[in-house]
């Protein structure tokens, strides 16, 4: 058979490009798109043997996995779809991959709805939340609280450099939340006025650290100083199995041009620009992690991780 990498279908390449450029972004949304792309690979492949189709699916998974390194929902999605493709015919492997991908996307949707209900219980009528970046898991909590008839306000950090806070502001306002948009550096000024800091996550480590959009850790430290609880809304797809065996989470470094346009940068002289996309908030600054399976103090998330993953963290797309 030819090189399986050359048989990756265009839909997979388009999805990988969209994830890399952040046209498709947000940990849960990335996972959903990656599973759908693997389903497309299975459906559109013209492989003639089961082994060839498996090799193609692994190649497609590598293409998707090579896009962004921090959100573990991406490799977790790939692992889920490729979990058990031992069939002896092309049809058997194709059917298994399509079934696993479809099941994954359905589970993701249900998990977010369930998480929203759990998170909504923390929010009382009249509360104000402060948000950072844009998280569909956070939005699910607010949406469920609003559906319960609670009236909420939000202070929304704009979230430099890509301003995903604008998406959050728009979506919260559409839910009927009273929204105030602030620059990131104004967050501390408003912490006395808010009842909860509510953030999402790209990965959760076994020690309960929250890996989320750059700026989350500073916000959490300030919130602790002011006595404002910090709640992280993260489906279990964000739990990072590699950290169970001592691995750390890669922090993505993105383009300088997201921080400053090249012409302006040129006027500054010999200046280096650094653009880390995420940071790590230690568990002592986080009050609770809200998942679809309930709320956990960050230090006990490892129990849930062991239950869900055991000690196995194999990445099936790495095998040739």
Positions that interact with ligand RI2 (CB under 6 A): 25-29, 133, 135-137, 164, 200-202, 212-213, 277
Q: In angstroms, what is the minimal distance from the CB of 269 to ligand RI2?
A: 30
Q: In angstroms, what is the minimal distance from the CB of 264 to ligand RI2?
A: 23
**In the annotation, is 250 catalytic?**
no
**In the annotation, is 105 catalytic?**
no
Question: Taking Cα atoms as reference points, which of 280, 317, 316, 271 lies closest to residue 298?
Answer: 280
Residue (4 or 283) nearer to ligand RI2, CB: 283
CB count in 10 Å sphere of residue 190? 16
Residue (195 or 258) nearer to ligand RI2, CB: 258
Neighbouring residues of 69: CB distance < 8 A, sequence distance ≥ 6: 250, 251, 252
Residue (55 or 305) nearer to ligand RI2, CB: 305
Q: In angstroms, what is the minimal distance from the CB of 173 to ligand RI2?
A: 18
CA dist., res. 66 & res. 60, Å (int): 10
> Of the residues 65, 202, 279, 287, which is catalytic?
202
How many Cα atoms sit within 13 Å of 200 on the Cβ side?
A: 30
Q: In angstroms, what is the minimal distance from the CB of 189 to ligand RI2?
A: 22
- Which residue number is nearest to ligand RI2 in terms of Cβ? 200
Residue listed under structure tokens 């589970």: 107
CA dist., res. 252 & res. 244, Å (int): 20
> Of the residues 52, 65, 127, 133, which is catalytic?
133
Asked if residue 40 lies in contact with residue 206, where contact means CB atoms within 8 angstroms, the answer is: no
Q: Output the known binding site for substrate.
A: 25-28, 68, 212-213, 238
The residues annotated with a catalytic role in the active site are 133, 202
């Amino acid at each position: 058979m030819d090189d399986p990498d050359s048989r990756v279908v265009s839909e997979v390449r388009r999805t990988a490009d969209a994830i890399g450029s952040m046209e498709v972004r947000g940990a849960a949304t990335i996972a959903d798109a990656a599973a759908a792309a693997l389903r497309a690979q299975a459906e559109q492949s013209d492989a003639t043997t089961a082994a060839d189709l498996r090799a193609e699916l692994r190649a497609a998974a590598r293409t998707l996995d090579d896009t962004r390194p921090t959100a573990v929902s991406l490799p977790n999605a790939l692992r889920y779809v490729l979990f058990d493709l031992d069939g002896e015919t092309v049809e058997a492997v194709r059917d298994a991959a399509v079934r696993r991908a479809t099941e994954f996307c359905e589970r993701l949707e249900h998990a977010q709805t369930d998480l929203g209900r759990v998170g909504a219980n923390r929010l009382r009528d009249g509360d104000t939340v402060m948000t950072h970046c844009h998280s569909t898991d956070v939005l699910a909590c607010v949406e469920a609280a609003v559906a319960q008839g609670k009236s909420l306000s939000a202070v929304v950090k704009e979230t430099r450099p890509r301003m995903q806070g604008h998406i959050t502001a728009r979506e919260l306002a559409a839910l009927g939340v009273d929204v105030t948009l602030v620059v990131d550096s104004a967050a501390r000024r408003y912490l006395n006025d808010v009842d909860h800091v509510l953030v999402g996550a790209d990965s959760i480590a076994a020690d309960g650290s929250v890996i989320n959009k750059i700026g989350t850790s500073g916000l959490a430290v300030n919130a602790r100083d002011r006595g404002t609880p910090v709640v992280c809304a993260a489906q279990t797809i964000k739990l990072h199995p590699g950290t169970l065996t001592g691995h750390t989470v890669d922090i993505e470094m993105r383009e300088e041009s997201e921080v400053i346009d090249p012409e302006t940068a040129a006027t500054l002289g010999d200046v280096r620009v650094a653009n880390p996309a995420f940071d790590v908030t230690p568990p002592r600054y986080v009050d609770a992690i809200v998942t679809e399976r309930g709320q956990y103090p960050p230090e006990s998330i490892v129990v849930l991780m062991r239950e869900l993953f055991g000690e196995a963290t194999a990445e099936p797309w790495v095998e040739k």
